[in-house]
Amino acid sequence: MGIKVLSKRAIVVITLVVLVLIVAFCVGRINQKDESITPITLAEPPTYGSEAEQKLFHFIRTHMVNPEGGIYTNYLDNSDKTKGHAVLSESVGLLLKYAVSSHNEELFIQQLNLLQHRFVEGDFIAWIYPSTSHHTVNSSVDDLRIIEALWDGARIFNNEQAFNLGLRLAKGLLATNTDGKWLFDYADEKKRQVAPTVQVRYANLSALQKLAEKIPEYLPIYEQMKRILEQAEQPNGLYALAYLPKESRYVQDPALLTTAVSTNMSEQIITALYAEQAGIPTDSMRKRLADSLQKTGKLFATADKQSGKMKTDMESPAVYALAAMLFIESDQISLARQCLTRLEELQVSSQSYQDAPADIRQKAVQFEGGYLDVYRLQAFSFDQLESLLAMRIGGGKSE
């Protein structure tokens, strides 16, 4: 019997099958490698500024960290990846800032490695990990925070790698998110599209000034962002939401037919903090916060978009944390301490649940020190990390 010769078509099919098997094997090996990663324990700072900071750090390290050292967006997992166990570039930047503020070089290296391995693609920082359909999108405010923290850490820890990465990412941000005059909210690298808006609360002038010192092309961007922040305060004392460069105006509220404002007090105070750091007056916002603390002993999470007054319905750890940092920046230490005291009072304390049902008491012990709803188990990264940073910055402040 003669040897049967395979047709060219059969050879092509067999070759393709072999290639598919090889690729599948390689992907399996990569996934297996990812699954076998030795879990990272967040490195503690050399010292803590307060017991509250220590308790909060331990809560985060125990309950909010994935095996690679990233901070979960929420303690509870969720089908919506952005509200569950995904890690945001926002959290990486905040933890890098905390590492710098606490002189924690090991933590800085941990977050630097996470950034490089899971978020940086070329010169682009994806805003979320694991990847989603929006994985090729960035967030300019988070990128600025990361770049600034990398350079601050490079200086303090004498880390040339961090400096070079920051420089590369700054040049990448310039290429993807700017038109030479404006830094737009986000860019989709895959679609080659940018947002039409410039969020006022994205005007991190401290970071932009550092970028302009090293990369001259950022100077006109810094000047434009400073201008819209200087002009953003509205008659009701709140800051404008966003600016439309192509139309040379702020975004309008279609219902009120006035300049749109954010009703989220965290966003309002972040804007004021960036303004204060840049030497732009923030008297109106600081007076509003001080008056609320004096009258009620509290600050609140939302504001009425017409009157600008805070709504007395819900508190937020992030609001107190950001207000404390704003008051520290303006050298109003007594008000900062008042915010930090309330921030400590909002931490989960087992002593506060002694009369609660047994299962709730057990959860209070388990989640001691965190900002978590012990009934619904909601705990968000932004609250934890902004509070941690405020406690560190304010830990050594006194009258």
Tokens standing for residue 359:
């299962």
pLDDT tens readout for residues 194-252:
999 999 999 999 999 999 999 999 999 999 999 999 999 999 999 999 999 999 999 99
Q: CATH code for 40-396?
A: 1.50.10.10
Q: Is 20 a residue whose pLDDT tops 60?
A: no
The proportion of the chain whose per-residue pLDDT surpasses 70, expressed as a percent, equals 88
pLDDT tens readout for residues 109-144:
999 999 999 999 999 999 999 976 656 899 999 999
Q: Quick one: pLDDT band at residue 38, thresholds 50, 70, 90?
A: confident
Question: Is the model's pTM score more than 0.85?
Answer: yes
pLDDT tens readout for residues 73-99:
999 987 676 677 999 999 999 999 999
Distance CA 249, CA 252 (A): 9
Tokens standing for residue 151:
């350079």
Q: Is 398 a residue whose pLDDT tops 50?
A: no
Q: Give 285's contacts (C-beta < 8 A, 6+ positions apart).
A: 237, 239, 268, 269, 272, 326
Contact 51, 386 (CB under 8 A): no
Q: Taking the domains of the chain in order of start, what are their residue ranges?
A: 40-396
Q: Quick one: pLDDT band at residue 3, thresholds 50, 70, 90?
A: very low
